[in-house]
Amino acid sequence: MNTRDALLECLPPVAYDRAAPNVRAEAASAAAVLDSVINLADVLLREQQPDTTALMFVDWERNFGLPDACIGGVGATEAARRVNLMGRVGGRGDLSRLFFIAQALGFGYAGCTITEYGPMTCADTCDSAVNGPEFIGVWRLNVPVSTVVNYATCESPCDTPLASWGNTQLECMVNRRKPAHTVALFGYAP
C-alpha cells in the first residue's frame, strides 16, 4: 500500500467519498509531501555517520578540523579525505602506545616501537643513559624503515640542512595527538 492509499483509508467513510476526484487529488498531494519527508529521514540517518555522509561531509570535516596541514589537505580525493575524517573521529581519546603504532602503520610504517625515556635513578643499571629530570615525558617513535635522505649540495641555499629525512605528515600527526605534557622524538633506522 502506498502513502496515498493509506491516507484515503484513514478518511471516515461516511464523511468522504474516497473515489471522488478532489479527495483523491488532495490525498495524492499530501502523500507526495509525506513521501519526500520519509525519504529525507532516510537521508538524515545516513548523514549522521561520518562514514556514510554525503551532503554534510564538509560540515563533518569542519567540525573535526579537516583538512589540515598534517593529513590530506586541499586537493585530496574524497576517498582520502573520508579516510582522514574516520581516523580523526576514531582517534580521539586514545593515547596508548598501540594507538601511535597503529597511526604509524596507517602511514605505511610497519613494525614501529616506542621507547620511553626518564631520568636516571639509583635502580638503573650502570650502562643506562644519564638522563636528567628534563627527560620526564620524553618518548621516541622508532620507525624501522629506510627513509629517503636529502643531502645538501654545493648548489643548495645557505639555510639548507646538510641532511634531512623523515615523514612530515607522520611527525605532524603524532605531535598533534600526543599528550600535551610530553615530547615526541622520531628515530628512522635503515
Last residue of a domain, one of 36, 67, 92: 92
Instruction: Express each pLDDT in 94-144 by its tens digit.
Output: 778 888 898 888 777 888 999 998 888 888 888 777 777 888 889 999 998
Mean pLDDT of 30-49: 88
pTM of the model: 0.58
Task: Output the CA angle 117-119-120, nearest 5 degrees.
Answer: 110
Q: Domain of 66?
A: 49-92
Shared domain check, 78 and 40: no
Q: How far apart, in whole angstroms, are the C-alpha atoms of residue 60 and residue 86?
A: 10
DSSP state of 40: H
Shared domain check, 107 and 81: no
Shared domain check, 177 and 99: yes
Shared domain check, 108 and 23: no
Q: How far apart, in whole angstroms, are the C-alpha atoms of residue 77 and residue 83?
A: 10
Q: Tell me, what's the pLDDT at 59?
A: 92
Shared domain check, 170 and 108: yes
Show contacts of 5-13: CB within 8 Å, 24+ apart. Answer: 6/31, 7/31, 7/34
Instruction: Express each pLDDT in 42-101 by its tens digit.
Output: 888 888 888 889 889 999 989 988 887 776 566 678 887 887 788 778 766 577 888 889
What strands lie across the sheet with 183-188, from one edge to the other?
Answer: 113-116, 138-143, 183-188
Element (H, E) at 37: helix 21-47
From its phi and psi, is residue 78 left (phi > 0), alpha (psi between -120 and 50) or beta? Answer: alpha
Interacting residues of 4 by C-beta distance below 8 A, sequence separation 6+: 24, 27, 28, 30, 31
Last residue of a domain, one of 92, 109, 127: 92
Shared domain check, 150 and 183: yes
Q: How far apart, in whole angstroms, are the C-alpha atoms of residue 41 and residue 33?
A: 12
Shared domain check, 168 and 101: yes
DSSP state of 48: T
Number of domains present in the structure of the chain: 3
Q: How far apart, in whole angstroms, are the C-alpha atoms of residue 117 and residue 137?
A: 7
Q: Which residue has the cell 532516510?
A: 42
Shared domain check, 53 and 43: no
Shared domain check, 106 and 87: no
Shared domain check, 162 and 141: yes
